[in-house]
């Protein structure tokens, strides 16, 4: 598969789980990457394991417009060109339904999962359009530009155990498809990845009962690991500029539902 040499990426939620492995895999394939998450010390640790000239850190809340603008500026400052590969991955789960989930977590979840995604999509979209510079028709896909968003299997199939979280991902899926229809014809690929169960910090943050998750692993395991999802991000970005893998749903083999 083709190299990602020359690509400049931003990965949100790169301090753990899927985002961390996405950042590592992109760098392994030749990309330079700006890492974002709130825990700066974790990002610095991740960066220390990667070639210094391939990585930059911009810590902060990925739903904050100021932080988003700083990430994009940082890519330009560190790597001397506008980012052309944005991975909108920062997100969090929440155990329970609209009836049972912890309402004190709702605003943070909606802000992180939905608004953060929308703000970054918009900011990155405008900068990519400016970089394309009004070129139209087939020539506007001369080089690849990607915005890749982490949705979820539960953003497509309603899950009874986390339907409040799932509803934020349903919204994200709608946002992504709308943006794909708007920006695809202008030369920007907007892609959605919908993972099933992935073992990461996600389960703890979401407040899943540990015994329940162990039961899930027993019933449908082995569940996915973050590198399994990271490979799909790299695969999308590796496609020739005129080819768009716009949607990947990836589940553990034995996951029947959702
Ligand atoms: N695990 C699954 O089963 C699964 C399935 C489908 C989809 N997904 C989606 O995949 C994405 C990554 O999940 P994961 O499994 O890798 O979870 P994870 O291990 O909990 O990692 C989440 C990452 O997002 C960061 N983050 C959270 N809120 C943030 C914010 N406001 N601003 C910046 N960074 C933030 C966290 O770092 P800090 O705490 O340092 O900020 C961490 O790096 C999420 O969008 C999730 O919804 C996960």
Is the residue at 2 inside a domain? no
pLDDT at 171: 98
Contact 156, 249 (CB under 8 A): yes
Residue 143 lies in a domain: yes
Q: Report if residue 3 sits inside a domain.
A: no
- Does residue 255 sit within a domain? no
- CATH code (residue 149): 3.40.50.720
Residue 113 has pLDDT above 90, yes or no: yes
Pocket test for ligand 1, best of 47, 91, 165, 166 (most atoms within 8 A of CB): 91
| Cα-to-centroid distance, 141 and ligand 1 (Å) | 31
CA 10 – CA 14 distance, rounded (Å): 9
Q: Does 112 score more than 90 pLDDT? A: yes
Structural tokens at position 255: 């996951």
Could you count the other beta carbons within 10 Å of the beta carbon of residue 32? 25
What are 1-59's pLDDT values in tens digits? 579 999 999 999 999 999 999 999 999 999 999 999 999 999 999 999 999 999 999 99
Tens digits of residue pLDDT in 216-254: 999 999 999 999 999 999 999 999 999 999 999 999 999
DSSP-derived secondary structure for 164-175: HHHHHHHHHHHH
pLDDT tens-digit map of 191-217: 999 999 999 999 999 999 999 999 999
| Distance, CA of 95 to CA of 220 (rounded, Å) | 19
Choose which residue among 17, 21, 66 to substitute to test ligand 1 binding: the one with the highest number of ligand atoms within 8 A of its C-beta.
Answer: 17
Å from CA of 114 to ligand 1 middle: 13
Decide if 16 is inside a domain: yes
Q: 52-80, pLDDT tens digit by residue?
A: 999 999 999 999 999 999 999 999 999 99
Percent of the chain exceeding pLDDT 70 equals 100
Task: Domain of residue 56: give its range.
Answer: 8-250
Q: Is residue 245 part of a domain?
A: yes
Q: What is the pLDDT of residue 243?
A: 98
DSSP string, 85-145: EEEE-------S-TTTS-GGGHHHHHIIIIIHHHHHHHHHHHHHHHHHTT--GGGGGSS--
How far from 230 is each of 21, 134, 254, CA to CA, in Å? 6, 32, 20
Q: Report CA(47)–ligand 1 centroid distance (Å).
A: 18
Q: Across the chain, how many H-helices and E-strands are there? A: 9, 7
Distance 238 CA to ligand 1 centre (A): 23
Q: Closest Cα to atom 36, ligand 1: which residue?
A: 13
Q: What is the pLDDT of residue 160?
A: 85
Q: Report the mean per-residue pLDDT for the chain.
A: 97
What's the N-to-C CA distance of the chain in angstroms? 31
In sequence order, what are the residues at sequence separation of 6 or more whose Cβ sits closer than 8 angstroms to the Cβ of residue 88? 12, 62, 116, 117, 120, 121, 147, 148, 149, 150
pLDDT per residue over 153-172, tens digit each? Answer: 999 999 988 999 999 999 99
Query: Most distant CA pair in the chain: distance in Å?
Result: 55
User: Reduced to 3 states, what is the DSSP secondary structure of residue 48?
Assistant: helix
Whether residue 222 is preceded by a cis peptide bond, meaning omega within 30 degrees of 0, is yes
Structure tokens belonging to residue 257: 């539902």
Query: Is the residue at 258 inside a domain?
Result: no
Q: What is the pLDDT of residue 99?
A: 96
Domain count, the chain: 1
Residue 221 belongs to some domain of the structure: yes
């Amino acid at each position: 598969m083709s190299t990602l040499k020359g690509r400049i990426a931003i990965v949100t939620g790169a301090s753990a789980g899927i985002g961390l492995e996405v950042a590592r895999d992109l760098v392994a394939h030749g990309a330079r990457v700006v890492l974002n998450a709130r825990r700066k010390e974790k990002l610095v640790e991740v960066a220390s394991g990667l070639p210094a000239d391939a990585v930059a850190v911009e810590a902060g809340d990925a739903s904050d417009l100021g932080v988003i603008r700083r990430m994009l500026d940082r890519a330009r400052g560190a790597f001397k060109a506008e980012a052309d590969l944005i991975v909108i991955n920062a997100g969090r789960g929440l155990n329970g339904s609209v009836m049972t989930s912890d309402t004190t977590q709702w605003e943070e979840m909606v802000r992180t999962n939905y608004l953060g995604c929308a703000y970054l999509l918009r900011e990155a979209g405008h900068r990519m359009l400016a970089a394309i510079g009004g070129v139209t028709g087939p020539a506007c896909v001369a080089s690849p530009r990607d915005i890749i968003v982490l949705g979820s299997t539960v953003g497509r199939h309603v899950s009874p155990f986390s339907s409040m979280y799932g509803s934020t991902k349903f919204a994200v899926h709608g946002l992504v498809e709308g943006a794909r229809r708007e920006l695809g014809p202008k030369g920007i690929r907007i892609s959605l990845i919908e993972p099933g169960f992935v073992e990461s910090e996600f389960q703890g943050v979401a407040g899943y009962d540990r015994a329940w998750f162990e039961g899930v692993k027993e019933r449908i395991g082995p569940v996915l690991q973050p590198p399994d999802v990271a490979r799909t991000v790299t695969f999308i970005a590796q496609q020739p500029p005129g080819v768009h893998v716009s949607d990947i749903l990836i589940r553990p083999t034995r996951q029947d539902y959702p």
